[in-house]
Structure 1
């Protein structure tokens, strides 16, 4: 029995010999300095590389020159629709600027977060976009001291001086409350995942409680982990809807995952949307498909992703000059559908 040996990668020296060029010329061709070569020499190098199947080792070239052209991104939960949408925006922005994106998922595990930060640093990433799960302040301080610019996505850390890009959480809650009040709903249930250690969840919950009194509304919050808590969610919603009195009631969902879980619960309970209002933060593809359509606040995820990369590149260009951190908060867009039409 014979086996086929694995294909060997062509080397830059072989390309140089085939093209009748120096190794330096081939290196210049693949490092963005090909304009220094004659067009005839460029053509010979391109043809030799094509025939040999040569692909430059971008990682080795980057480490040798001190620039990996890699941007790292740490995602707390890659299953979260918001994370996926922003990650797409970050990747597009990186590609437009000639960078590649290296993504690590932590599954909201602080231990995995620390390990993934060390892994990204080992790849010599030039900047980091971080959607934190825990409190990795010490690790982030170490990276910042190494000159790696950081951008915190959606979630802030009190002890870390870094640019922050995300949603205007207070503005989003105000927009939701104004819409629900304008539609005649007077009693609200705010459903959220546990807010501990997650700044964006804390801001939304705080603003919800503040905003009720300002608008003459009544309401309460239900905060619980979604996985394995279907019964608790059902009990909480059932208790809220079964209270004495008949003021128009509505549920406000803190993010896309909550909106999905609440929608499933309302369907199981046979609750008519509209008669009972439903509004979710984060626009999801299926929201317009659930009759009569679910009202949402759509985050400008592409803009948020682009802004995160822009901030990293501006920090890289200003290397050695530490400017105060900036906070860029974006407004959502209200998409009104039948779930908030009485």
Structure 2
């Protein structure tokens, strides 16, 4: 009897253990289980578990063209948004019999090119991409070769790929409307450097459009590097110019954290100066009196990305035009957007 503690079981050994043909075992692990009888499926599954057999998906892909692998390219894996969406992607992959390969680029176009080549070498069947900026030659080549692509939270003009993400215009409208309704008339929009990141561009542009449409509102926008002194100086100067009631609208979770620290350093109570952030983070409910946020449906966005890939992979609509699925945020109101006064004494946890 061979010592299986030092090597992997083979597909032939599974076939012998199950009393089945090698072809039947290949069908079982190759996505064709429905072609086998229930009894045969049960025997093969039990035999594989007894032997500890795991199919080599990469080898299967090289042989048959189906790797059952999907790839995900993330611009910044430290971003809580990226982690949350990745969970939705992974859950959907698992439910549909795919495995997920993830690569992080740190917003570096060079790393983006490197990881795209690496994912291609693993013969992934589709890609979810949070691109750093303009599409690279590698990304263009993949699209031209027919590899299904879904852009996550990025919109690249003249690039024919499906996309999923937040409805950024709606998010800004909801934020501005909420702050206006709560009595804030002077708004500061803070973002990380806009650069080539299209969600930041869209949020920035929509904020300016709202200000031009509603003269009653007065606003400024800044996209500083997120060091404490820069954010402190921007908020302090804004409040000196604008007066009260004023509020800070933050374009993402990183900016919300920087603005919270700046307001605390300036000795300003949240609510006295309003604070609203796009992206719900765990700590937002813990900073008294709680920070109002617009929560993105990250699980839904991740699952939608995989669903778009599956539609392309099933071959029914290979030449359909690109689809862009936009999802609304959910307003979570807390005390940071409640002006102090007789009608606003009660803090929201």
The residue correspondences of 1:98-117 to structure 2 (distance < 5 A) are 98-117=97-116
Q: TM-score, normalised by structure 1?
A: 0.91
Q: 1:94 to 1:41 in 2, by over 3 A?
A: closer
Which residue of 1 is the match for residue 239 of structure 2? 241
- SS class of match (1:242): helix
| 2:193 equivalent in structure 1 | 194
Q: Secondary structure at the match of 1:252?
A: strand
Report the more deviating stretch, 8-17 or 18-27: 18-27
Q: How far off its partner does 1:64 sit?
A: 1.9
Equivalent residues of 2:189, 2:221 under 8 A apart: yes
2:130 corresponds to 1:131: yes
- The alignment's TM-score, normalised by the length of structure 2, stands at 0.89
Q: Which residue of 2 aligns with 1:321?
A: 318
Report the counterpart of residue 89 of structure 1 in structure 2: 88
Aligned equivalent of 2:306, options 285, 306, 309: 309
Structure 1 gap segments, 5+ residues each: none
Aligned to 1:340: 337
Match of 1:120 in 2: 119
Instruction: Identify if the C-alpha distance between structure 1 residues 179 and 50 changes in structure 2 by more than 3 Å, giving closer, same or farther.
Output: closer
Kept in 1, the 8 Å contact 2:232–2:262? The answer is yes
Per the alignment, do residues 43 and 143 of structure 1 end up closer, same or farther by CA in structure 2, a change over 3 Å counting?
closer
Of 250, 254, 257 in structure 2, the residue corresponding to residue 257 of structure 1 is: 254
| Cα distance in 2, alignment partners of residues 281 and 40 from structure 1 | 52
- 1:232 paired residue among 220, 230, 233: 230
Task: Name the structure 2 match of 1:182.
Answer: 181
2:286 aligned residue: 289
Q: Whole-Å Cα distance in 1 between the matches of residues 53 and 238 of structure 2?
A: 65
In structure 2, C-alpha distance between the alignment counterparts of 1:325 and 1:42, rounded to whole Å: 38
Q: Tell whether 2:53 aligns with 1:54.
A: yes
Contact 2:228 2:261 in 1 (8 A): no
Instruction: Output the aligned Cα RMSD.
Output: 2.2
- Is residue 2:332 matched to residue 1:330? no
Aligned length: 336
Give distance in 2, aligned partners of 1:44 and 1:156.
48
Contact 2:58–2:123 under 8 Å retained in 1: no
C-alpha distance 177-49 of structure 1, shift in aligned 2 (>3 A): closer
- CA shift, 1:320, in A, is 7.3
Q: CA deviation at 1:32?
A: 4.5
CA distance in 2, matches of 1:153, 1:46: 36
Contact 2:311 2:317 in 1 (8 A): no
Is the CA contact 1:277–1:340 (under 8 Å) kept in the aligned structure 2? yes
State the secondary structure of the residue aligned to 1:329. strand
CA deviation after TM superposition for structure 1 residue 322, in Å: 1.2
Secondary structure of the residue aligned to 1:178 is helix
What is the CA-CA distance between 1:35 and the residue it aligns to? Answer: 5.7
How far is the alpha carbon of 1:112 from its aligned partner? 0.5
The 3 A distance-change label for structure 1 pair 142 and 274 is: same
Q: Secondary structure in 1 aligned to 2:147?
A: coil
- What secondary structure, in the 3-state scheme, does the structure 2 residue paired with 1:237 have? helix
Q: Which residue of 2 aligns with 1:223?
A: 223
Secondary structure of residue in 2 paired with 1:225: coil
CA pair 220-33 structure 1, distance change in 2 beyond 3 A:
closer
CA offsets, 1:66-97, max 9 Å, x none?
11111111110111111111111111111221
Change (3 A) 1:66 1:222: same
CA offset at residue 171 of structure 1?
A: 1.2
Cα 1:70–1:295 shift into 2, 3 Å: same
Of residues 119-128 and 272-281 in structure 1, the stretch that sits farther from structure 2 once superposed is 119-128
Instruction: Give the aligned partner of residue 344 of structure 2.
Output: none
- Residue 219 of structure 2 aligns to a residue whose secondary structure is strand
User: Gapped runs of 5+ residues in structure 2?
Assistant: 340-349
